Amino acid sequence: MLSLKRYGWLCVLGGEVAYMICILGGYLPLRTVRGTELHDALLETLPGFVWGSPLSVILGAAYVFVFAWIFGAYMVWMHNTSMIKGERNEGHTIITESSPNPVHSH
């Protein structure tokens, strides 16, 4: 079973690191003009984001925080609900990770 608190914070950490790399990459002159325009347009899809504004960077980080928690909660829910004990299939017990002792019925 995954812990929502631990997995949620790991998702936030990964999301914020990726966001900061994207922001810093936006100021590096390593791309073509078209690539820079595309990068700017993608980040400007965040409501209220404006390039060069420190408040926009903070706002974007807040968006990433919220989206990462939503993603983390969904993944924990999907994982944990798939680990239900003792599912029955055609008269036989399916052994899952959470079943410590195998039980078979015929």
DSSP string, 5-55: HHHHHHHHHHHHHHHHHHHHHTTSS-S-HHHHHHHHHHHTTSTT--TT-HH
Across the chain, mean pLDDT equals 81
Count of domains forming the chain: 1
Question: Which pTM value belongs to this model?
Answer: 0.68
- Judge whether 24 lies within some domain: yes
- Judge whether 48 lies within some domain: yes
- Judge whether 98 lies within some domain: no
The model's pLDDT over 23-74, given as tens digits with 9 standing for 90+, comes to 888 788 787 888 888 888 887 888 888 888 899 889 999 999 999 999 999 9
- Judge whether 103 lies within some domain: no
- Judge whether 31 lies within some domain: yes
Q: What is the pLDDT of residue 105?
A: 55
Q: What is the pLDDT of residue 30?
A: 80
- Judge whether 102 lies within some domain: no
- Boundaries of domain holding 44: 4-93
Q: What is the pLDDT of residue 26?
A: 79
